[in-house]
Amino acid sequence: MSLITTAAVLAAVPPTALISGVFGMSGGMILMGVFTWLLPVAVAMMLHGITQAGSNGYRAYLHRRHIYWPVLRGYVLGSAISVALFAWVAYVPSAAVVFLALGSLPFIHRLFPKAAAIEITRPGAATASGVIVTAFQLLAGVSGPVLDIFYLKSPMTRHQVVATKAMTQTIGHLVKLGYFAAVAGFLGQMDDTVPLWVFGAVIPLAFLGTGMGGWILNRLTDAQFRNITQWLVLGIGSVFLVRGAVLLAG
């Protein structure tokens, strides 16, 4: 990996972790796009999994007193079901599929009717979210906007939303990391062009951005939090849809 590519990979981590620290999403989506733009898909998925597990794990720790723990049991069960299905076919997406899936995520969230949203604390909803969200993790590398659908009717505060999503996303990224390490290795798709020290360096950089994001989150109102999130993810999604279409056409 060239010095410029290494610098770009590392430079993308703190600002995207900051965005995730504030809004609980978006940052991971941007980072996955950057990594997929610069690296082979399997390597991008693994590097992103390490970075986001660190970022989300630290965010979950910072807001740990706000985590709604009953959601996690069902989510883990659903996640296991989804991973088993993907492992059965040993699927690794192409870069075009990753970008199209990334780009579609904000619009799925935006167009999904609120009246049809499944409230995350209802019986069975957490398990359903585990199945669906993990599937998007393995297709696009991220799943925040889809996970957010399960919180549309939630009575949780912004801190509870960010904390609980951070914990579920930490689980999801660890699952993604394990899946691509195993499946990509089995299929001979591993790429060793990324130095091992880069995998270690992204974690403290993610911690740095996440810590700054938590400081900003405490200074936003609930209304500001929700309004900024909506428009931010739509703009990012549009860029990724165009990139995916270009790759598919090429």
State how far the Cα of 31 lies from the Cα of 213, in Å rounded to an integer: 15
Alpha-carbon dihedral sign for residues 132, 49, 110, 236: negative
**Domains held by the chain: number:** 1
Average pLDDT over all residues of the chain = 79
Encode pLDDT of 70-111 as tens digits.
888 889 999 999 999 988 888 888 889 899 988 887 777 667
Task: Determine the structural domain holding residue 237 and report its residue range.
Answer: 3-249
Q: Which two tokens stand for residue 108?
A: 């799925």
| Cβ-contact 129, 75 below 8 angstroms | yes
| Cβ-contact 52, 169 below 8 angstroms | yes
Q: Which amino acid is at 103?
A: G
Q: Which of 122, 150, 155, 116 is nearest to 134 (CA)?
A: 150
Encode pLDDT of 19-33 as tens digits.
766 655 567 788 888
Residues 6+ apart with CB under 8 A from 247: 94, 95, 96, 99
DSSP letter string, 199-220: HHHHHHHHHHHHHHHHHHHTTS
Encode pLDDT of 160-169 as tens digits.
877 888 898 8
Encode pLDDT of 167-211 as tens digits.
988 998 899 888 888 886 655 555 556 777 887 888 788 777 766
- In angstroms, the Cα distances linking 76 to 50, 53, 67, 167 are 19, 15, 15, 11
The DSSP letter of residue 93 is -
